[in-house]
Amino acid sequence: MPICLSVIPPLVDRFMHYHIILTKECNLNCNYCGGGSDSPPKEIQYSIEDLKSFLSRDSAPVIEFYGGEPLLRIETMEKIMDAIPGRYVVQTNGLFLDKVEPGYLQRFHSILVSIDGQKETTDRNRGEGVYERIMRNIEIIRQKGFSGDLVARMTVDKGTDIYEDVRHLAGLKIFDHIHWQLGFEMFWESWEEETGIAEWINSYNKDISSLVEWWVGEMKHSSKVQGIVPFIGVINSMLSGVPSRLRCGSGVDFFAIMPDGRISACPVSIDFDFSVVGSIINDHPMSLCDKISVGEPCISCGIFHICGGRCLFVNHAQDMLRKDGYGLICATVKHLVRELEGAAPAIRELIDNGVVNRKDFEYPELNNGCEIIP
């Protein structure tokens, strides 16, 4: 299987991972996104045979359907799954999951569903009634036989109560794992006049402290490691002592195939020239690795071996951030790492005493689109 030799694996094999952008259209108009992308082309221009020819040079590709909203193009998705062998992932807003036939659902290794926490939080960000529709469709796909990794993929915007929203999703006992990312929009230059961001970051950091304390407490009381992806991933590295490169893998072993066949190092920065590293027509999968990587100030940072740089896009678009944007983002990562460093001795003791299993921290099995670092 092709693996970029420059990758330092955090105890799991790093397979090459390809985000396939099926469409840039979206059926929602979320507060922090705005409903897809306006940049052309919005629909796939290449043939499935072209995609197959490119991916056939990778013996074990991980293929993730992405958008816009990928399930607006279920028929195209099914044709790709019929034509190309691999392990499949989809990242979706969940509103059309009930439309996917059982035979295809059962082939997914992971399904990442965009949900921001409690009903009030989710509907405020994503639209009235979205939370209930997601819950209904999750029940449907389980009934249809999906038994893979179901991930709640949160976008955390200003005003989110990360402690309450994560605990709510964990308490539902329907998601295998929970991951979140801070919304980019509040750090952009266009928000320069926005007030309250620094205050909210302080509140967010305090909630992270409370969440770590609750997470460790759950291990002690129930012998269960709650599937909180940022915590598991970072603790995994601390337990193993193995340093990590960029956690999401962008530009390392993780690439986005755009509708016109060009390949971006990151699915979020597809409209930026710096992110384009090749095409499915002209390039071999292994030729893509490390054409672009994280630079300063990350590589001189004291937690670079744990964080890996957090975000390739933000690192290369620093001039687009508000003047304190990079510092605010880094403050959240440094705080999370410090809190987990403080929790690590207790977790090691729980493992040594057989209360929890070391293997519970070895996640993900393969890069399934969870970026680890929020």
**Res 202: pLDDT:** 94
Res. 13: pLDDT tops 70: no
Burial class, 35, CB count within 10 angstroms (exposed 0-12 / middle 13-18 / buried 19+): middle
Amino acid at 116: D
Amino acid at 351: I
- What would the pLDDT profile of 235-277 be if each residue is shown by its tens digit? 999 999 999 999 999 999 999 999 999 999 999 999 899 999 9
> DSSP secondary-structure letter at 41?
P
Second CATH level (architecture) for the domain 17-360 = Alpha-Beta Barrel (3.20)
- What would the pLDDT profile of 88-146 be if each residue is shown by its tens digit? 999 999 999 999 999 999 999 999 999 999 999 999 999 999 999 999 999 999 999 99
**Contact call for residues 63 and 20 (beta carbons, < 8 A):** yes
The full DSSP string for 44-99 is --S-HHHHHHHHTTSSS-EEEEESS-GGGGHHHHHHHHHHS-SEEEEEE-STTGGG
Find the mean pLDDT for residues 206-219. 98
Placement of tokens 């709650």 in the chain? 226
Burial class, 171, CB count within 10 angstroms (exposed 0-12 / middle 13-18 / buried 19+): exposed
Query: Domain limits of the chain?
Result: 17-360
Angle between helices 229-240 and 197-222 (to 10 degrees): 70
